[in-house]
Amino acid sequence: MSGVPSREVARRVFAAEYNDGSHTFKESDDERAPLYYLLPTGERANRVFLVGTLTETEDVGEDSEYWRGRIVDPTGTFFAYAGQYQPEAAAALRDLSSPAYVAVVGKPRTYETDDGTVNVSVRPESISEVSAGARDRWVAETAERTLDRIEAYDDEANEYGRMARERYDLEIDQYREAVVAALESLEQGDELGGQETEPPA
Amino acid sequence: MSDVRTHAEEISAQFSDHLDVSVDEIESELRTLVDDYSVPLEEARRSVTSSYLDDAGMDRDELAPGGSESTVVGEIDTDEQWVDLEVQVADLWEPGHDSISQVGLLGDESGTIKFVAFDTSELPELAEGGSYALGNVVTDEYEGDYSVKLNRTTTIEELDREVEVGDDGVAVEGALVDLQSGSGLIKRCPDEECTRVLQNGRCSEHGQVDGSFDLRLKAVLDDGDRVQEVIFDEAATASLTGIDLAEAKQMAQDALDTTVVEEEIAARVTGRYYRVYGPEFRRYVLVDEFEELDGAASAEETLIRARSI
């Protein structure tokens, strides 16, 4: 398997965690080495996969089209930006009408504002409309993956857990709470669905 | 159980197909040597084994070392193991050498494995499609591929039930995160032996050719931990996307561009979750069957897990 660069896996992370980080790094001096974003729960992410509700799209470009999409999950909001170098994703944001469930494959990008805070966004490789069922599956899956990271956070051998402890001053339990809230929101969704079908009293 | 008894049972198993001797008889012979003549047990075993080899007219290397183990073909991962299998003869091939009497594929529910039988073993022939209990076959390894060799000590018993043959398939689940180049409506080299995918109308082997259209997807499934490349052939692509080869050709003709097919398919499948099933080929899984996954089936268990951390 050596020689062929393997494709980077797409991490699953809730917006609440995703937006809390700031640190990016490379693992070699090679100019083309992959850029990683350090997740607060201690994992490197070169790519992410997320599914949520597209609530708003806006062309925020000045000279050329530059589309911003707000994508909401049960814990917060992802921001996706696509311009002329992501023509397919930009076209998707232009054409989709919100609200809609969308799946986004993309790369984490960080941007430091004038006041020194770091904003984390997604540069999409693809955006596509999906079903509510796919959204629910993503929430359950992202919950699992987040718990995996939380459980491995303090492991001796977990170098990204150690990096996160060094780089970030964040309370990890808040992400476990976010997982609980996200999963509870699925259950409530089910209950609401059930009530709708009940006959009026 | 005493050591002597264990050895006696093992020897008995080694000769069970060749001699009619009881475990008690063997044990008593071993005990005479060990107890009365103070021969070490290993040496006593060697001596007793030798006398039985003479009785059976066998060579020592025909003897199964310590008896063989019952297994399935998919579990075979060690060289020179003696095993018993219950298999169906899935395929018989033309023997490539005079010394080989039969060569082909044996299968059970775990998959298939190559087998070879030699002329010198003087075994009855296996029939294609027949199901057999094979005793005392030897595993063989060549460049990471395993096969089994039938030999003079191999026992062959025809079964009156049919052994089902599995297809070595694997199941993979994940979100479809990318379609790779070479997906959608493609053209292949018309040479029947070749069928390479053409690049700009050229086959890397046969040069400029008039290609024939095909429909396939090279997709990436990603479960957040690992990625797996999978290939949907024409039939699987049509069933996945609702676009068959004829429709794909029409779409390309209308747009004067073949890439519209991939774009349309990408919009229909990207970001959705699938479970696919099929055999592995190089770094790909070739999709035989698939289903779309949705809904949060395991959410309740995950919630319990989240609350217990």
Domain harbouring B88, CATH code: 2.40.50.140
B103 has a pLDDT exceeding 60: yes
- For residue A146, report the phi and psi dihedrals to the nearest 5 degrees: -65, -40
A149, with CB counted inside 10 A (0-12, 13-18, 19+), is buried
- Domain A10-190: CATH superfamily is Nucleic acid-binding proteins (2.40.50.140)
In this structure, are residues A87 and A124 in contact, taking their beta carbons and an 8 Å threshold? no
Q: Which domain holds residue B118?
A: 69-158
Whether A136 and A146 have beta carbons less than 8 Å apart is answered as no
> Is residue B185 located within the same domain as residue B256?
yes
B174 and B254 both lie in a single domain: yes
B163 found inside a domain: no
Report residue B87's pLDDT band, with 50, 70 and 90 as the boundaries.
Answer: very high
Which tens digits make up the pLDDT trace of A170-201?
999 999 999 999 999 987 765 443 333 344 44
Residue linked to tokens 């599914």:
A51
Q: How far apart, in Å, do the first and last CA atoms of chain A sit?
A: 64
Report yes or no on B237 lying in a domain: yes
Report the first-to-last Cα separation within chain B, whole angstroms.
Answer: 48
Tell me if B298 is assigned to some domain. no
> What stretch of H or E contains B265?
helix B259-269
Distance from CA of B117 to the nearest CA of A (A): 35
Do B268 and B234 belong together in one domain?
A: yes
The candidate with the shortest Cα–Cα distance to B109, out of B158, B82, B84, B74, is B74
In this predicted structure, the answer to whether residue A6 has a pLDDT above a threshold of 90 is no
Find the range with the poorest average confidence among A4-8, A97-101, A164-168: A4-8
* Under 8 Å between Cβ of A138 and A12: yes
pLDDT digits (tens, 9 = 90+) for A56-79: 999 999 989 999 999 999 999 999
Is residue A124 within 8 A of residue A86, CB to CB? The reply is yes
Please indicate, yes or no, whether residues B222 and B189 belong to a single structural domain of this protein: yes
Q: Is residue B266 part of a domain?
A: yes
Average pLDDT over residues B230-259: 95
Q: What is the DSSP letter of A86?
A: S
CA Rg value for chain A: 18
pLDDT digits (tens, 9 = 90+) for A72-109: 999 999 999 999 999 999 999 999 998 999 999 999 99
Residue at token pair 């999963």: A183
Look-up of token digits 């073909």: B73
Q: B176 and B276: one domain?
A: yes
The complex scores an ipTM of 0.90
Among B51, B25, B74, B30, residue whose Cα is nearest residue B279: B74
Contact B309 A147 (CB under 8 A): yes
Q: Which residues pair with A72 in a beta bridge?
A: A53, A77
Nearest CA distance, A22 vs chain B (angstrom): 21
Claim to verify: residue B127 and residue B14 sit in the same structural domain? no
Structural domain contains residue B233: yes
- The pLDDT of residue A201 is 44
- The domain limits of chain A are 10-190
Same domain, B277 and B179: yes
- Do A78 and A51 form a contact (C-beta atoms < 8 A)? no
Cβ B224–A49 below 8 Å, yes or no?
yes
Q: For position A1, what pLDDT does the model report?
A: 41
Is residue B301 a part of any domain in this protein?
A: no
SS3 assignment for B115-182 = EEEEHHHCCCCCCCCCEEEEEEEEEEEECCEEEEEECCCCEEEECCCCCCCCCCCEEEEEEEEEECCC
Angle formed by the axes of helices B234-241 and B259-269, nearest 10°: 60
Mean pLDDT of chain B: 88
Q: Does B309 touch chain A (CB under 8 A)?
A: yes
Q: What is the pLDDT of residue B95?
A: 81
State residue B251 phi and psi, 5-degree precision: -60, -45
Residues of A in contact with B266 (CB under 8 A): 126, 128
Asked if A52 and A135 touch (Cβ cutoff 8 Å), the reply is: yes
Does residue B91 have a pLDDT over 90? Answer: no
Eight-class DSSP state of B205: T
What are residue B250's phi and psi, to 5 degrees?
Answer: -65, -45
At A192, list the tokens.
């609401």
Instruction: State yes or no: pLDDT of B192 exceeds 90.
Output: no
Confidence tier at B65 by pLDDT (50, 70, 90) = low
Alpha-carbon span B184 to B247, nearest angstrom: 12
Nearest CA distance, A103 vs chain B (angstrom)? 5
Selecting from A10, A138, A144 the residue whose C-beta is nearest the C-beta of B302 gives A144
| Non-local CB neighbours of B199 within 8 Å, separated by 6+ positions | none
The confidence score (pLDDT) of residue B218 equals 97
Contacts of B264 (CB under 8 A, 6+ apart): B241, B243, B251
Q: What is the number of domains present in chain B?
A: 3
Evaluate whether B191 touches B181 at the Cβ level (below 8 Å). no
- Token pair, residue B49, equals 């084994």
The answer on B94 and B145 residing in a single domain is: yes
Size of interface A-B (CB pairs under 8 A): 112
CB of B116 within 8 Å of a chain A CB? The answer is: no
Calculate mean pLDDT across residues B175-196.
Answer: 92
B309 CB neighbours in chain A (<8 A) are 147, 150-151, 176
Reply yes or no on whether the pLDDT at B241 is more than 70. yes
CB B6 within 8 A of CB B34: no
A125 and chain B in contact, CB less than 8 A? yes
B26 and B75, same domain (yes or no): no
Tell which of B62, B84, B102 closes a domain: B62
Domain boundary among the residues B62, B92, B110 is at B62
pLDDT digits (tens, 9 = 90+) for A8-47: 999 999 999 999 999 999 999 998 899 999 999 999 999 9
pLDDT digits (tens, 9 = 90+) for B117-163: 999 888 999 999 999 999 989 898 877 778 999 988 889 999 999 99
On whether both B122 and B215 belong to a single domain, the answer is no
Q: Do B271 and A134 touch (CB under 8 A)?
A: yes
Question: Are B87 and B50 found together in one domain?
Answer: no
| E-assigned strand segments in chain A | 10-11, 24-26, 35-39, 43-45, 47-59, 67-73, 76-82, 100-112, 118-129
B302: in domain: no
B164 assigned to some structural domain: no
Please indicate if any CB of chain A lies within 8 Å of the CB of B296.
Answer: yes
Q: What is the pLDDT of residue A152?
A: 96
**With bands split at pLDDT 50, 70 and 90, how would you rate the model's confidence at B66?**
low
Task: Please state, for a pLDDT cut of 90, what percent of chain B lies above it.
Answer: 49
End of a domain among B106, B127, B158? B158
- Is the model's pLDDT at B220 over the cut of 80? yes
